[in-house]
C-alpha cells in the first residue's frame, strides 16, 4: 500500500535524525506531489505516523515531529494522559481515526496498557467529551439579562466545538450524553431561559432548540476537515470545480440563478463563524418577540 511506503520513508528520516523533534514534516500536498499519489493517500500516511506518536498536528505550523518526551514510556501512564492523547488524535485526524492502539502508540506504551485505565473506546470517548466540555466555564457574576447570558453560553459552546470539531458529532440531541461538565453548560443556558417565565416543558424545549442550533452548525466543522483531507481541495477550489455541475440545478429557477450569478460577480465566502453569529441573533430575536422580552 502506497501510504505505508510513504510512512516508512518518513519514519526512517525521523529515526536517522533528518527530521528532528519539532521539525515540520512535509505537507500532505508536498507528499502527494513527490510520491505521485492522491492527497487522501498522503494524508493517510501522516495519520498512521500520528497514531504511532511520531508526529503531531501543531496549530499554524502543520504536522511536526513529536518530541521524545511526548513519545514517552509506559511509566507514568494515567487515565488523564490517555484522555489527553486521545483528544489530540481526534483533534488532528477526526474521531474515526481514534483507536486504543493508536493512543497506546502515541504514549509509547504497550498496546494493552490503556485498558488498565479505560475499558474501551466507548468509555474513552465519553471521558474525552467530558474533559473537552470542562475546558471552558462561566463567570461567577453573570452578565445582566437572559439574552446576554444566552449569547455567552452559545459562544462558549461554539468555541469548544471549534477547538474540538469531533465533539459535535457524538450524539443526537434526543439522547444527551450523561456528562458532568456538559451539565455545566446546560445549567447556564437553562438559568438564562428561565427568565422568560415559562413552564418546565417549554423550558426544556427552548433549551433543546438552543443547544441543537449551536451543535447543528458545529457539525459541519469536522465534515469540512474530512472533505479537505479526502479531496485535497479547499472549499473555494471545490466550488470552482463544481461550477459546471451546478448549472442544471438553476434551470427554471430564476432566483437561484440570479443569486449564483451575483455571487460570482461580487465574490462570496461561506464563513461558518459568521453564519453562527447571524443565526444566533435571529434565534434570540425570535425568543424576545415570542415572549415579549
Give pLDDT, residue 73. 47
- Cell digits for 75? 511509566
Give pLDDT, residue 275. 92
In this predicted model, which residue has the larger pLDDT, 200 or 56? 200
Element (H, E) at 22: none
Give pLDDT, residue 72. 46
Give pLDDT, residue 121. 94
Using DSSP's 3-state secondary structure scheme, residue 62 falls into strand
In this predicted model, which residue has the larger pLDDT, 66 or 76? 66
Average pLDDT, the chain: 86
- b/e 261-286 (16+ beta carbons within 10 angstroms → b): eeeeeeeeeeeeeeebbeebeebbee
Using DSSP's 3-state secondary structure scheme, residue 135 falls into coil
pTM for this structure?
0.70
- Cell digits for 286? 425570535
CA distance 266 to 259: 11
pLDDT of 141-177, one tens digit each?
889 899 999 999 999 999 999 999 999 988 887 888 8
173 secondary structure, DSSP code: T
With 0-12 / 13-18 / 19 or more C-beta atoms within 10 angstroms meaning exposed / middle / buried, residue 174 is exposed
Give pLDDT, residue 230. 67
- Cell digits for 103? 493512543
CA distance 160 to 218: 10
Please, which residues bridge with residue 56 across strands? 64
CA distance 50 to 52: 5
- Cell digits for 151? 449569547
pLDDT of 254-271, one tens digit each?
898 888 888 888 877 778
CA distance 123 to 108: 21
Confidence grade of residue 61 (pLDDT, cut at 50, 70, 90): low
CA distance 23 to 16: 13
Per DSSP bridges, beta strands 62-65 and 55-58 are antiparallel
CA distance 62 to 26: 9
Give pLDDT, residue 38. 83
CA distance 6 to 69: 24
Give pLDDT, residue 50. 79
CA distance 105 to 96: 16
CA angle (89 as vertex; 86, 91 as ends), nearest 5: 105
Question: In the predicted model, what is the mean pLDDT of residues 123-142?
Answer: 93
CA distance 266 to 56: 39
- Cell digits for 190? 437553562
- Cell digits for 24? 515540520
52 secondary structure, DSSP code: T
Amino acid at each position: 500500500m502506497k501510504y505505508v511506503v510513504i510512512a516508512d520513508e518518513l519514519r526512517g528520516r525521523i529515526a536517522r535524525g533528518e527530521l528532528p523533534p519539532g521539525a515540520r514534516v512535509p505537507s500532505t500536498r508536498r507528499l502527494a506531489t513527490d510520491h505521485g499519489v492522491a492527497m487522501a493517500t498522503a494524508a493517510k500516511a501522516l495519520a498512521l505516523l500520528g497514531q504511532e506518536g511520531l508526529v503531531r498536528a501543531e496549530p499554524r505550523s502543520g504536522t511536526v515531529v513529536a518530541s521524545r518526551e511526548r513519545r514517552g514510556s509506559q511509566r507514568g501512564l494515567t487515565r488523564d494522559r490517555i484522555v489527553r492523547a486521545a483528544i489530540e488524535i481526534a483533534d488532528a485526524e477526526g474521531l474515526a481515526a481514534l483507536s486504543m492502539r493508536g493512543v497506546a502508540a502515541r504514549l509509547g506504551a504497550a498496546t494493552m496498557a490503556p485498558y488498565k485505565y479505560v475499558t474501551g473506546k466507548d468509555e474513552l470517548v465519553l471521558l474525552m467529551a467530558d474533559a473537552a466540555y470542562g475546558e471552558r466555564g462561566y463567570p461567577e457574576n453573570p452578565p445582566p439579562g437572559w439574552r446576554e447570558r444566552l449569547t455567552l453560553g452559545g459562544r462558549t459552546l461554539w468555541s469548544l466545538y471549534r477547538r474540538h470539531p469531533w465533539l459535535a458529532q457524538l450524539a443526537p440531541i434526543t439522547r444527551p450524553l450523561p456528562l458532568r461538565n456538559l451539565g455545566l453548560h446546560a445549567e447556564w443556558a437553562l438559568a438564562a431561559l428561565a427568565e422568560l417565565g415559562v413552564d418546565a416543558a417549554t423550558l426544556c424545549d427552548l433549551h433543546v432548540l438552543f443547544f441543537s442550533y449551536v451543535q447543528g452548525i458545529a457539525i459541519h466543522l469536522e465534515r469540512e476537515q474530512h472533505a479537505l483531507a479526502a479531496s485535497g481541495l479547499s472549499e473555494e477550489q471545490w466550488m470552482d470545480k463544481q461550477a459546471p455541475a451546478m448549472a442544471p440545478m438553476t434551470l427554471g429557477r430564476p432566483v437561484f440563478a440570479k443569486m449564483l450569478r451575483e455571487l460570482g460577480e461580487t465574490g462570496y465566502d461561506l464563513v461558518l463563524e459568521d453564519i453562527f453569529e447571524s443565526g444566533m441573533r435571529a434565534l434570540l430575536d425570535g425568543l424576545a418577540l415570542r415572549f415579549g422580552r
